[in-house]
Amino acid sequence: MAQLPNTKSMGGVARQGMRRLPLNATILAPLVALILLFVVSSIASEYFLNTRNISNVLRQVSYTGIIAIGMTFVIIAGGIDLSVGSMVALVGVIILYIINTISDPIQAVLLGMLAAIAAGGLLGLFNGLLVTRGRIAAFVVTLASMSIFRSLALYFTDAAEVSTRNPLFSNVGGGFFLGIPIPVLVFFGLAILAHILLFHTPYGRHVCAVGANAQVARYSGIRVERIVLSTFVIAGICVGLSAIMLTSRLNSVSPSDAGYFYELDAIAAVVIGGTALSGGRGTVWGTVIGALILGIINNMLNLTGVSPYLQGLVKGGVILLAVLLQYKRA
């Protein structure tokens, strides 16, 4: 009789340990899905495991992946940000405007990148203030700002694509360090930072608490408004980073096209990664895996040459499958 409660508490400790390591079912399920997809893809196409292909996939994933990391914070805190795609276009236009105005190439690139982070942060602040001070639902605020940001990007450029002749800029997103594309390094570096922020700081615990139950969090002395506001600023800064990587890789920006549907890819990555859309719990690693799953699906469909009409069906099916797998285990 005395042993029973003992084993129970042992299990409890073990389970708690798992939760701290974030290696519970919600993260294992997407990981299993990723491995499965990886194996299927290697069999389906002889080109899949090609080093250059892997490097391409990682780079293709990193633009939406960086945004999805920011989105993870917003969603865990109980919000949503639909404006990130349009924000990429607007920030991209701002970067290229600055780079094309300043004549010294090094100064131009540095200031352009700084401005991108600042602009992303400010646009995120705009969203966050409307949600917290304006007391409007995040869905509505960012639905409106999605339209506003895209419209401003179109207005500043007369809907025309902007490109640059700056000789250095394309080395940022198009460059490699130790054989790895720079956007990929930024993506993984950011993921590690975000993971630490979310799981090993009081701030991260507050984000989860606010998303789980804002009222209780408020009674526990957490400044709920400030936390919610900060998640939108984080999302904006991530958009700024993504815009730097994307516009420099392409050496141009198209205001009507840049970041098109990125919000949906980012949300899909977060959800596949096991973060609850209702907020309160989630992991950064899950989001990274979710983004990788989406990227590998796209890549595999292109490599195997599946009919363009059917690609959407396969993509949607795999997303549903990944999420179903997760709920069965959880």
Q: Which residues bind another protein (CB under 8 A)?
A: 44-47, 50, 52-53, 56, 60, 63, 158-159, 161-163, 170, 174, 246, 249-254, 256-261, 298-299, 302-308, 310, 313-314, 317
Q: How far is the CB of 163 from another protein (least distance, A)?
A: 5
Within 8 A by CB and 6+ apart from 222, the residues are 206, 209, 210
Q: How far is CA 102 from CA 90, 110, 123, 165, 171, in A?
A: 19, 10, 23, 12, 18
Q: Which is nearer to another protein, 75 or 268 (CB)?
A: 268
Please name the residue that has the structure tokens 């977060």.
Answer: 270
Q: How far is CA 310 from CA 34, 62, 124, in A?
A: 21, 25, 36
Please name the residue that has the structure tokens 């917003």.
Answer: 74
Q: How far is the CB of 39 from another protein (least distance, A)?
A: 15
Q: Which is nearer to another protein, 48 or 126 (CB)?
A: 48
Q: How far is the CB of 298 from another protein (least distance, A)?
A: 7
Q: How far is the CB of 319 from another protein (least distance, A)?
A: 15
Q: Which is nearer to another protein, 299 or 326 (CB)?
A: 299
Q: How far is the CB of 129 from another protein (least distance, A)?
A: 30
Q: Which is nearer to another protein, 71 or 96 (CB)?
A: 96
Q: Which is nearer to another protein, 22 or 259 (CB)?
A: 259
Q: How far is CA 40 from CA 48, 266, 289, 314, in A?
A: 10, 24, 16, 14
Mutual angle of helices 138-157 and 105-132, in 10-degree steps: 150
Q: How far is the CB of 151 from another protein (least distance, A)?
A: 15
Largest CA distance in the chain: 80
Residue 94, judged by CB atoms within 10 A of its CB (0-12, 13-18, 19+), counts as buried
Question: Which candidate, 18, 51, 19, 1, places its Cα nearest to that of 184?
Answer: 51
Q: How far is CA 164 from CA 83, 184, 188, 210, in A?
A: 26, 23, 28, 43
Q: Which is nearer to another protein, 3 or 307 (CB)?
A: 307
Q: How far is the CB of 267 from another protein (least distance, A)?
A: 17
Q: Which is nearer to another protein, 92 or 120 (CB)?
A: 92
